Amino acid sequence: MNLFDLSGKVAVVTGGTHGLGMAMAEGLASAGAELAITSTTPSKLDEALEYYRSKGYSATGYLFDVTDEREAAQKVALMLATHGKIDILVNNAGIIKRVPALEMDVADFRKVIDVDLTGPFIMSQLVGKHMIKRHSGKIINICSMMSELGRDNVVAYASAKGGLKM
């Protein structure tokens, strides 16, 4: 008995090329979803697509930075033209810089906030408009225990994930 059927659904997973993003994308695909995965690294994107396709999953890759509003808008438009719709958005792309708070450069702090908090905002806004028009869709934001418990060497990451959780 199939209790989790996503046949006919299109799932976008940002950062779906490795780690948790890849595991979540594979779970969605194994339930029948067509994948659209994103990455900023061409080689990782190619390797992930090869892996998904070797498993028999339908997967398309999109190379772009979720913090670049213009590029994200272009790629989301391309996803919609290619797939016809987006049913699920998993905001997974993220970075962490393990540096004590008193030693962290402001530029590094801003980069983590941009990728881990602003990127999901941009993607949710772009995809959310489409979902609202269709009266259908799910947006899943990937947080962390650090959204509840901060530590001095992951201050930017904990701040971003705390903001995303809220």
The predicted-structure confidence for 43-64, as pLDDT tens digits, reads as follows 999 999 999 999 999 999 999 9
Return the CATH class of domain 10-165: alpha beta
CA 35 to each of CA 57, 110, 144: distance values in angstroms, whole numbers, following the listed order:
8, 30, 23
Q: Of 52, 57, 62, 157, which residue is the catalytic one?
A: 157
Is 62 known to be catalytic? no
pTM over 0.75: yes
Instruction: Give the pLDDT mean for 100-112.
Output: 96
Instruction: Pick the more confident residue, 140 or 147.
Output: 140
Residue 106 predicted with pLDDT over 60: yes
Of the pLDDT bands very low, low, confident and very high (cuts 50, 70, 90), residue 148 is confident
Residue 149 predicted with pLDDT over 80: no
Instruction: Give the pLDDT mean for 118-125.
Output: 98
Query: Residue 1 has what pLDDT?
Result: 54
73-81 long-range contacts (CB < 8 A, ≥24 apart) are 73/126, 75/38, 76/123, 76/126, 76/127, 76/130, 79/10, 79/12, 79/36, 80/130
